């Protein structure tokens, strides 16, 4: 069994982006990081993104409206960033306070600055295999982990557990594409699936993104499979200071010995999302520059 080291792979990508950005003529790529309020998890996520920007040489513009901002005021913030030629990418940190319509805010972001890859047009481009779009960071990170771990997908069976718009569906569409490091046969399973273990046991590559702690057990896995664990679940743990520990959607202690390769939680898919956000921002900068 080989651990897929997401921290190392993410760092490699950040190093590559740093070299690429250093060689870009003109102004540096710029991402606007919009965080509403002071939710502790959001504060921590945005700090990580800010740090990655600093490491690479991407300009980050920090916009921290108060938690009392109205929908229309937040729309106005997004509209201003959409119109600003010095801003390449816009990230609005999720979750937004409950009085704001998150989907409507995400849709307000111009597709060509949508480095989170949530825009309808970018999802359509993913289905159409149109490379000018942006792919959501988590599924893009999964594919990059597999590619850089030399896991060949062509003709092999990828089983995706979960059909969310942010992970399951785009991961399935990516694995299905007609291109190197894709061309997989793809099955999408979910909460309504009958005979789930019989299906997951067929997976050469199993992507678990169902949001249930330690849901995937040894009996659900084929020996030699590659396991990508997208879950981040808090499980009560009295032995920890915090009172909880993080686990994935996979029961690591029993599944890992069966797997040929597996991602840990934390340190697997997680670090890749920030690296992919940075990659999308550099791509946006190059595309927006060419369009002008």
Tell me the catalytic residues.
49, 93, 116
Window of 3-11, 148-156, 205-213, 248-256 that interacts with a second copy by CB under 8 A: 148-156
Q: From the CA atom positions of the chain, what is the Rg in Å?
A: 19
Strand order of the β-sheet with 30-34 is 59-63, 30-34, 89-92
CB of 274 to a second copy, least distance (A): 24
186 part of the interface to a second copy, by CB under 8 A? yes
**Least distance CB 78 / a second copy (angstroms):** 19
Cβ neighbours around 25 below 10 Å, total: 5
Q: How far apart are CA 132 and CA 205, in angstroms?
A: 27
Residue 180, interface with a second copy (CB under 8 A)? no
Site membership for a second copy, residue 22 (CB under 8 A): no
Q: With CB under 8 A as the contact rule, which of the stretches 17-25, 125-133, 141-149, 211-219 interacts with a second copy? A: 125-133
* 101 touching a second copy, by CB under 8 A: no
Residues 56, 91, 92, 123: which binds a second copy (CB under 8 A)?
123
Say how many residues touch a second copy, by CB under 8 A.
34
> What is the C-alpha to C-alpha distance for residues 177 and 285, in angstroms, rounded to an integer?
25
Kindly tell me which residue out of 169, 251, 261, 283 binds a second copy, with binding defined by CB under 8 A: 169
Q: In the set 59, 60, 122, 280, which binds a second copy (CB under 8 A)?
A: 122
Beta strands 244-247 and 233-236 are antiparallel
Paired with 208 in beta bridges are 161, 229
Note whether 276 binds a second copy by CB under 8 A: no
192-211 mask for a second copy (x: CB under 8 A)? Answer: xxx----x------------
| Binder among 35, 113, 157, 251 for a second copy (CB under 8 A) | 157
Tell me, rounded to whole angstroms, the distance of Cα 175 from its chain centroid.
15
Nearer to a second copy, 6 or 168 (CB): 168
176 binds a second copy (CB under 8 A): yes
Q: From the CB of 185, what's the least distance to a second copy, in Å?
A: 4
Q: What angle do CA 35, 279, 140 make, to 5 degrees?
A: 90
Residue 263 and residue 250: Cα distance in Å, rounded? 10
User: From residue 185, how far is each of 113, 160, 174, 236 by CA, in Å?
Assistant: 32, 11, 11, 37
CB 222 within 8 A of CB 243: no
Tokens at 291, concatenated: 């369009």
Binding site for a second copy (CB under 8 A): 119-128, 130, 154-157, 163, 165, 169, 172-173, 176, 178, 183-190, 192-194, 199
């Amino acid at each position: 069994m080989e651990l897929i080291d997401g921290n190392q792979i993410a760092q490699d990508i950040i190093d590559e982006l740093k070299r690429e950005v250093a060689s870009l003529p003109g102004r540096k790529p710029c991402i606007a990081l919009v965080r509403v309020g002071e939710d502790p998890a959001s504060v921590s996520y945005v700090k990580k993104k800010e740090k990655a920007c600093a490491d690479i040489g991407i300009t980050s513009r920090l916009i921290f409206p108060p938690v009392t901002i109205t929908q229309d005021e937040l729309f106005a913030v997004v509209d201003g960033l959409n119109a600003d030629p010095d801003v390449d990418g816009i990230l609005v940190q999720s979750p937004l306070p409950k009085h704001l319509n998150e989907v409507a805010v995400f849709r307000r972001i111009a597709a060509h600055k949508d480095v989170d890859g949530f825009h309808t047009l970018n999802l359509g481009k993913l289905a159409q295999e149109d490379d000018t779009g942006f792919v959501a960071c988590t599924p893009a990170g999964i594919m990059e982990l597999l590619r850089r771990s030399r896991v060949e997908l062509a003709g092999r069976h990828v089983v995706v557990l979960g059909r969310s718009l942010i992970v399951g569906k785009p991961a399935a569409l990516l694995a299905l594409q007609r291109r190197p490091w894709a061309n997989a046969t793809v099955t999408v399973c979910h909460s309504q699936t009958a005979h789930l273990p019989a299906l997951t046991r067929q997976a050469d590559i199993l992507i678990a993104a169902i949001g249930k702690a330690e849901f995937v057990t040894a009996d659900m896995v084929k020996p030699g499979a590659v396991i990508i664990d997208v879950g981040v679940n808090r499980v009560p743990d009295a032995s920890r200071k915090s009172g909880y520990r993080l686990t994935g959607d996979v029961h690591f202690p029993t599944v890992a010995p069966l797997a040929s390769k597996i991602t840990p939680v934390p340190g697997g898919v997680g670090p890749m999302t920030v690296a992919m956000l940075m990659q999308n921002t550099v791509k946006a900068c190059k595309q927006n520059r060419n369009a002008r």
